[in-house]
Copies of this chain bind each other. A is one copy, B any other.
């Protein structure tokens, strides 16, 4: 298992090409936020925007639209019950994230199957939160496993891999990752990444980050990094590492680090590590 260091940041975070426009930095579609967990997808959107994604569209319950615009006018928004519009924004997506605050209702199921069947060969797909639970429970199938990232915490990984938490050893996890075929970001106080070519461990982080929404922010960062950077496995690792690095830095002066504070720091930290 390779231990991540700040090197991963300078490897990944490249200078933006001078002759570029917003499309150069990807189109992310973020799907989640039901009536109870709307804040989750708002936090993912903030992270995706602040990490430099070119264009971000949020697909969420209508109830969440006003708060999304109040916080992030940079994001576009689609009512998640509008299939036609959803299909059209998915068509042009570089990366799709589904899961933050998605819930386990009928519409959550429907959205997940819709996304799984509409994913195109060139599109990265990040499956997070309750979408992982749904995926496991419904025995769904990936069209393009190599283009898919799961971001489970340990209990969600148990559901997906059928490995009990105390069975989740590196070897067992690696084997399950190979069966599933996608990348696994296994979140815990020391997150591990089971990638397509190697396995990585994140040696940093702080308990000050143990608060609701931290995973939604990470999912948004992974999405943003996949939207922009060439080497996808490294991009995922860099997002994980940077998330913890910012948390650890803020944690030196903050007893608890609110997830939205991580996003605020992203443009500054990314500049610092730009290669």
Contact = CB atoms under 8 A, between A and B. Distances in A.
Contacts of A266: 255-256
Given A38-B69, A73-B39, A211 B25 contact: yes
Contact of A260 (B68, B74, B260): B74
Contact of A51 (B52, B66, B207, B256): B256
Contact of A258 (B69, B78, B210, B267): B267
Given A55-B212, A257-B267, A207 B76 contact: no
Most buried by B among A21, A36, A258, A259: A21
A253 interface: yes
A267 B274 contact: no
A44 B270 CA distance: 27
The complex is assembled from copies of this chain, and their number is 4
B74 A71 contact: no
A75 B40 CA distance: 9
Contact of A74 (B64, B188, B207, B212): B212
Interface residues of A, number: 71
Interface stretch (A11-19, A156-164, A177-185, A230-238): A11-19
A73 B267 contact: no
A189 interface: yes
Given A66-B66, A67-B70, A255 B214 contact: no
A188 B22 CA distance: 10
A244 B13 CA distance: 23
Contact of A19 (B64, B68, B189, B258): B189
Contact of A211 (B22, B79, B254): B22
Given A36-B77, A76-B212, 16 more contacts: A16-B255, A21-B189, A24-B207, A25-B210, A36-B76, A39-B73, A40-B73, A56-B212, A67-B68, A73-B260, A254-B271, A255-B267, A255-B268, A256-B266, A256-B267, A256-B270
Q: Which 7 A-B pairs rank lowest in CB-CB distance, beginning with the nearest?
A: A39-B73, A255-B270, A16-B207, A67-B69, A52-B256, A254-B267, A70-B70
